[in-house]
Structure formats: C-alpha cells, structure tokens
Structure 1
Amino acid sequence: MRQLFFFGLEQAKACFFPVIIFLTLAITKVVEVPFIARYDLILLVCLLTQLFMIIFKFETLDEVKVIGVFHLIGLALELYKVHMGSWSYPEDAITKIWGVPLYSGFMYASVASYMCQAWRRLKLRITNWPATWGVVLLSVAIYFNFYTHHFIFDFRWILKILTLLVFYRTFVYFTILKRTYAMPLSLSFVLIGFFIWIAENIATFFGAWRYPNQSQQWEIVHFGKISSWLLLVIVSFMIVALLKHIKENQSQDKHFAENNPLSK
C-alpha cells in the first residue's frame, strides 16, 4: 500500500499540467469571466501554467521543446479533424483559427508533459527497444492514418497488430522508493489510452469540444475512441523515447570526449 501511495503521488505530480487544464475547463463552464472569451481565457491559463512550470523548474527546457513539438502536431490534427467534421468548438474566441481555438494544442501538449514528467520522476528505463527506423516508420504510419482514413481504408487495426509485433519483447521499468517494477510496453499504451479516454469524457462534459452526437446534449464518448487514443499515445511515447535516446547518446559522446585524451 505504501508503494501504491507513492506511485499515485508521483503520477499526480506528473499530471500537473492536465489537471490545471481540467480545472480551468470546469471553472470557466460555471463561472463566466467578463471581457474575455472562454477559449481565450483557457489559452491564457495554459500559457501562464507553462511559464510557471519553467520558472519553478517543474519542467526542463528539453521537456518544453518536446511539449512544443506536440503542440504543433496536435494543432495540425485539430485543424484537419474540425475541417472534416469529426468534432467542433462551438464557442467564439479571438484566438480561434479556422474553427480551432489555439488552446487545443495544449491538450496534446499536456499528454507530452505527463510522459516527460513520469519518465523523469519514475526513472523509466526501456529494454529491448526495437530498431529506430522501424519505430519511426510505425509512428509516421499511425499519425498519417488519422488523416488518410477519411479517404481510404482505415489501417488502425493493422497498425495495432504491427505495434504488438514490434514491441512484443519491449518492457518498461519504473522505480518507486528504490524498488523497480516491470511492465510490457504495449500494456502501458493501453492503460494510458484508457485514462485519456476518461479524461476526454470529462473534457467534453465541460465543453472543451463537441462530437456530432453531443450537439443536443452531452453523451459518453464512444468506447471505441480508446483505440484512437491508444494509437496517439504510441506516437507520443515513440517521439519522447526517441528524443530521450538521442539526448542520452549525446551525453555519452560528450562524456567520452571529455574523459578520453585521444579524442582531444
């Protein structure tokens, strides 16, 4: 129980950014702030939260770069999906481009923030990581399938099977109070995707966005959406893992250069 408590505590710390977004969505749903549109206020809170986390070193500059990448990736996906009618943002705002409020990118960035913080706080270590070229190709295929399935065959189930095949030997190790635990990486994808689906239900309840079946009244998000989040989690994790891997190699090269007289 002690281990479980500290595991939950570290998870809660890692979820700081998503929690701030959810609180802002909830408060602005019931409290109307004058002189500023709701979506604009949410964007302002997200920006201030990000600044707060940098100043008080909740996040490193490298983590902020990763989060910035996810913000752009998420915003691009939002622009396309809203254009295709997959969901909508019904409220007006100044910071709204082609029907998409700019704060929406921070919802994807908050997932990256959680992953970066959890990686650092739980001292994540991965064994039997597959070939980098295979990971990159799989990530690209998953991401672009979100775009192409509107016009051609939806490959999501094929991509899920490929993910299991690519990562079937890969385990993630995490440490709690000096005790290390192991979990199949594929299982971690499913668990994170499930909890993001729960978060999505909370977000749509508070009007973060709206699916077509929620136009009249709020309904629970279809359970099948877990598979979409699972695939997006895979892309997110792969990008974070690859950047961590590159950073680690750079640190090792630097350490070797500083301690090997032949390299000078």
Structure 2
Amino acid sequence: MSTVIDRPCAAPATPWRYLLRQAAREFLWFGLKEARCCVFVVTLLVAVFLTPRAGVLGIPRYDLLLLAAIAIQAWMVRAGLETLDELKAICLFHVIGFALEAFKVSASIQSWSYPDFAYTKVFGVPLFAGFMYASIASYIIQAWRVLDLRIRHHPPYWMAATIAILIYLNFFTHHYIGDYRWYLAACALGLYSRTTVIFRPLDRDRRMPLIVSFVLTGFFIWLAENIGTFWGVWRYPSQMGAWSMVHLSKWSSWSLMVVMTFTIVAGLKHIKTRIHIPAD
C-alpha cells in the first residue's frame, strides 16, 4: 500500500513577456494621466508658442497671453476639470507668484525682466506671469485626483507650513542676508524623509518618496523655464545678448517652490483624510 504525500506546488513563474506588456501598459497610462494633469501647463505653453512677439492686431503679446490664460482657466472650471474650491488655491498662488515677480523685477533687484510692452503690466510684471506660478498648483491639484494620490507619514502641518513660509521668505531675503536655500532644503529633506506618496497609474498602487516627486517636478519646471526664456517671454541678465540655458541652480529653487506649493494645496483642498500623519 503506497502512501501519497501532498507537497506544496511552486507557483508557476509569471512569463516575462506578460510582465513587460503589463509594465508597458502601466507606463503608457501613467504618461497619459500625467498629460491630463498638465492640461493648464501645456495649453499655456502652446499659447506662448503661437503668440507672435509683436502681438496681434495691435494687442501686445503679454496682454494676449493674459486673455489666453484666463480663457483656459475658465474653460477648465466650466468643463469640470477643476472645482471652484480648487480654483481658490490656484488664485492664491497666483497672488503669491505675482508678489515674488514684482520684487524680482524691481529696479533694486533686477533678477530678470519682461522686455516687451503690455497694457496689463503692473510694477513691471505682466499679469499673465502669475498664471505661470499658478500652473504648478494646477498640476498638483489635477494629479491628486487623476492619479488618486494618498500621502503616508506626512509631517505635522505646523512644521510643513513653517518650512513653506521660510522657503518663500528666502526668495526675498537672500538678496540682503544671504541665501539659505540649502539649509532649508536639508530641513525639508529631514521633514519629509519618511513621507511617501501612493499613486495609481493603472490598476495597482505604486509608491514613491514624496521628496523625489518634489525634485522631479522641479526639474520639469526648470525645463519649461528654458522654453519660456528661449521664446523671449522673460529673460535673465545673462540672456540679454544671446539666449543661454537657465542656470542649473534654478532647479533647486523650483523644487523648493514645489514644496511650498504642495503645502498650500494640501491645506486649501482639505484633504487631511487622505494624508496620514503619525501620532508620534
């Protein structure tokens, strides 16, 4: 009489071709969703490309870009791509961005300039410029919904808000008391060292350190800034004679700006239920 011994069977190996197909599908969907999140940014860049520097029918370029930005924003709200509550966050960042622009282009600072004439220039800044900053907030807002973002191990809000305020102030004060961006970057790195962002490109959750998303977003903003200066929308002093690439150090500035924007969006969207803050 023989005895049959049941032995656990090894799970069949997943074919590598299936894994590659699945990875390709997930990457494709991630790209499509990222494009969906960049609707405001991309359409505004298209407007920059299509608007002649001399303007159209006597209307200066900066004024046309302002009309285009307002039209894009109104269309997004009307189409349901953004809610009125989300628009509040974008408008707030528009004001914050304009205040920074007015300071940076002032006669005493002259970090960069807008060389063309416009009727809608205030303190040397065309009003459409605030929309370029607001587009960062728009991207984060869209990504939260489209990619189903969830945040784990977010630092206490008062700490996050403090770092965001100091980052913003440093954009002003470094002209007088020194640049402390790397100290602030180190503080932000420590503050968000345990924080992860969970997102869903297709049918399963993926994770990424939140600080990595800050750096990656800052890099793509730096690329967009190179496009804007190449088209002569604004210029740094080093680009007055001939265009040159925006200095790589601006990447760190934009990454810190993303940290500040994330904090504003997180507060104004009332998404605390989707952000995990450890009790300890």
Using the size of structure 2 for normalisation, the TM-score is: 0.86
Q: Which residue of 1 aligns with 2:172?
A: 147
Q: Which residue of 1 aligns with 2:96?
A: 73
Preserved contact between residue 113 and residue 236 of structure 2 (Cα < 8 Å): yes
Matched to 1:72, the amino acid is: V
Relative to structure 1, the CA distance from residue 9 to residue 250 in structure 2 (aligned partners, 3 Å threshold; closer, same or farther) is: closer
Matched, 1:241 2:263: no
Q: Which residue of 2 aligns with 1:210?
A: 235
Task: State how far apart, in whole Å, the 2-side matches of 1:248 and 1:38 are.
Answer: 38
Matched, 1:134 2:159: yes
Matched to 1:168, the amino acid is: S
Q: How far has the Cα of 1:28 moved from its partner?
A: 1.3
Matched, 1:226 2:251: yes
Q: Which residue of 2 aligns with 1:12?
A: 35
Q: How far has the Cα of 1:32 moved from its partner?
A: 4.2
Preserved contact between residue 193 and residue 211 of structure 2 (Cα < 8 Å): yes
Q: Which residue of 2 aligns with 1:255?
A: none
Which 5+ residue runs of structure 1 have no aligned equivalent?
252-264
Preserved contact between residue 218 and residue 258 of structure 2 (Cα < 8 Å): yes
Match of 1:183, SS?
strand
Q: Which residue of 1 aligns with 2:184?
A: 159
Q: Which residue of 2 aligns with 1:106?
A: 131
Preserved contact between residue 25 and residue 207 of structure 1 (Cα < 8 Å): no
Structure 1 residues 69-117: Cα deviation after superposition (integer angstroms, max 9, x where no partner)? 1100000000000111000000000000111000000000111111100
Task: State how far apart, in whole Å, the 2-side matches of 1:27 and 1:190 are.
Answer: 30
Match of 1:241, SS?
helix
Relative to structure 1, the CA distance from residue 250 to residue 161 in structure 2 (aligned partners, 3 Å threshold; closer, same or farther) is: closer
Q: Which residue of 2 aligns with 1:57?
A: 80
Match of 1:182, SS?
strand
Task: State how far apart, in whole Å, the 1-side matches of 2:36 and 2:54 are.
Answer: 26
Match of 1:151, SS?
helix
Which structure shows the higher helix fraction?
A: 1
Q: Which residue of 2 aligns with 1:261?
A: none
Q: Which residue of 2 aligns with 1:256?
A: none
Structure with larger Rg: 2
Relative to structure 1, the CA distance from residue 104 to residue 36 in structure 2 (aligned partners, 3 Å threshold; closer, same or farther) is: same
Matched, 1:201 2:201: no
Matched, 1:45 2:78: no
Q: How far has the Cα of 1:242 moved from its partner?
A: 2.3
Matched to 1:206, the amino acid is: W
Task: State how far apart, in whole Å, the 2-side matches of 1:45 and 1:132 are.
Answer: 35
Task: State how far apart, in whole Å, the 1-side matches of 2:221 and 2:273 are.
Answer: 32
Matched to 2:184, the amino acid is: L
Structure 1 residues 101-157: Cα deviation after superposition (integer angstroms, max 9, x where no partner)? 000000001111111001110010000011111111111000000000000021100
Matched, 1:25 2:27: no
Matched to 1:133, the amino acid is: W
Which 5+ residue runs of structure 2 have no aligned equivalent?
1-23, 275-280
Q: Which residue of 2 aligns with 1:174?
A: 199
Task: State how far apart, in whole Å, the 1-side matches of 2:272 and 2:44 are.
Answer: 34
Task: State how far apart, in whole Å, the 1-side matches of 2:177 and 2:140 are.
Answer: 32
Using the size of structure 1 for normalisation, the TM-score is: 0.91
Preserved contact between residue 29 and residue 207 of structure 1 (Cα < 8 Å): no
Matched to 2:64, the amino acid is: L
Percent pairwise identity: 50
